Amino acid sequence: MTQTRVTPVPGGRLTAAQGTALYVGAVLGTGVIALPALAAEAAGPASLLAWLLLVVVSAPLAATFAALGARHPDAGGVSTYARMAFGPRAAAVVGWCFYFAVPPGASAAALFGAAYVEAAVGGGSPTVAVTAVLLMVAVTATNHVGVQLAGRVQLALAGVLVAFLLAAVLLALPHADAANFVPFAPHGLAAVGPAAALLMWSFVGWEAITHLTGEFRRPLRDLPRATTAAVVVVGALYLAVAVATVAVLGSAAAGSAAPLGDLFAVALGGDTRWVVAGAALLLTFGAMNAYYAGAAKLGAALGRDGALPGWLARGAVAGEVPRRSLAVTAALAFLALGAILATGLGARPLVLLATGSFITVYVIGVAAALRLLPRRSAAWYAAAATIGVVLFLLVMTGVYLLWPVAVTGAALLYLRTRVRSRS
């Protein structure tokens, strides 16, 4: 198959620092405010092995997508790489899996942040609902202005978030108790696999910025720098927060809806709900900001390439704002949030549902890297080292793979219908 190289239209404005902030926001995101507790519930202290596994895996995974993005900067991101490696059907599947995973994922993220606000001010489910809606409105408005503003906002957020998480860990660790690590694996070591699948939510994001690679001023130089810095920051913070959660909270971590709040409460011995709620909102906004930006660009690229209706294509060019695609993403996210609030399902099933789609994107993206990147290069070896792990995580997603399977069928059906309508 002939491999074409995508040449971006000049117009990118993101700097390496803004790119690092977008990465940190996309990957760090809401996982750090909720998933240490959910992982501890699934596997106890052994959940730290799942965290360590994913930190180790994230480095070559991030390097793989950075190498692809630097060589082929385009709004289609992983969808573009899949098209170049395997053809339009694979591109449509990847694009649909990512595009239609963002709305339920954004809904779950908004609920995570809203739960911290409710813990601070009370009010029950109405407070959660109003806060989640306001978060979605703010993120949509920021991205409506353009990706440059989104990058500047993210840069400001990143410094605040890193400082906050470091403070939580450093203040809480003096209260650690070695007895909290016993028993280490109360549900057996087999529980580490499902915990890792759950925690994958915390590490999706390396693919989100691939849709913005054309927005960088100098992708070949800035993408590797941004990726390296983000891997170090994210990996260190995740491990630090996970260890502190288990070491300080012990078995109570499994039942905590706001583990960071509990860490601060132990560390400071007072009411820190307002401070923690503010930090949770910033974390949530940062993650949603990066994903809305990436999904909006992707939708425009899919419209351009024929994998979604052509009227979405406006905004696919670097420097343009994909407002139509953004509107679709925002509308679907509001619908998903409404469904969650009406049914009371909670965020955990949506986390796994979205994660199944993102891991599917990873599997196809890494497979594309093995075909597109120069063989025996450092980036190619990074992809080769990652493929087995992402396949393992895909299997661990279990029944929630039904969602990406359904989305895959819908994407292929759309392409088939489109071809028939043209003939």
> Ramachandran region of residue 136, left (φ > 0), alpha (ψ -120 to 50) or beta?
alpha
Q: Is position 245 within any domain?
A: yes
Q: Is position 9 within any domain?
A: no
Give residue 59's identity as a one-letter amino acid code.
A
Q: Is position 7 within any domain?
A: no
Give the pLDDT of residue 2. 35
pLDDT at 197 over 80: no
Each residue's pLDDT tens digit, 41-77: 888 899 899 888 888 888 888 888 888 888 887 767 7
Give the pLDDT of residue 327. 92
Each residue's pLDDT tens digit, 204-215: 667 666 666 777
Q: Is position 5 within any domain?
A: no
Q: Is position 162 within any domain?
A: yes
| Residue 373 C-alpha from the chain's centroid | 24
Q: Is position 53 within any domain?
A: yes
**Contacts by 416-419, CB closer than 8 A, 24 or more apart:** 418/306
SS3 321: coil
Instruction: Tell me how far apart the alpha carbons of residues 249 and 259 are, in angstroms, rounded to a whole number.
Output: 8
Q: Is position 3 within any domain?
A: no
Average pLDDT for 354-380: 89
Q: Which domain holds residue 123?
A: 16-416
Average pLDDT, the chain: 81
Instruction: Tell me how far apart the alpha carbons of residues 333 and 105 are, in angstroms, rounded to a whole number.
Output: 8
Query: What CATH number did the domain enclosing 32 receive?
Result: 1.20.1740.10
Q: Is position 378 within any domain?
A: yes
Helices (H), 306-346: 323-343
| Residue 189 C-alpha from the chain's centroid | 26
Give the pLDDT of residue 278. 81
Of the listed ranges 7-11, 18-22, 377-381, the least confidently predicted one is 7-11
The domain tally of the chain equals 1
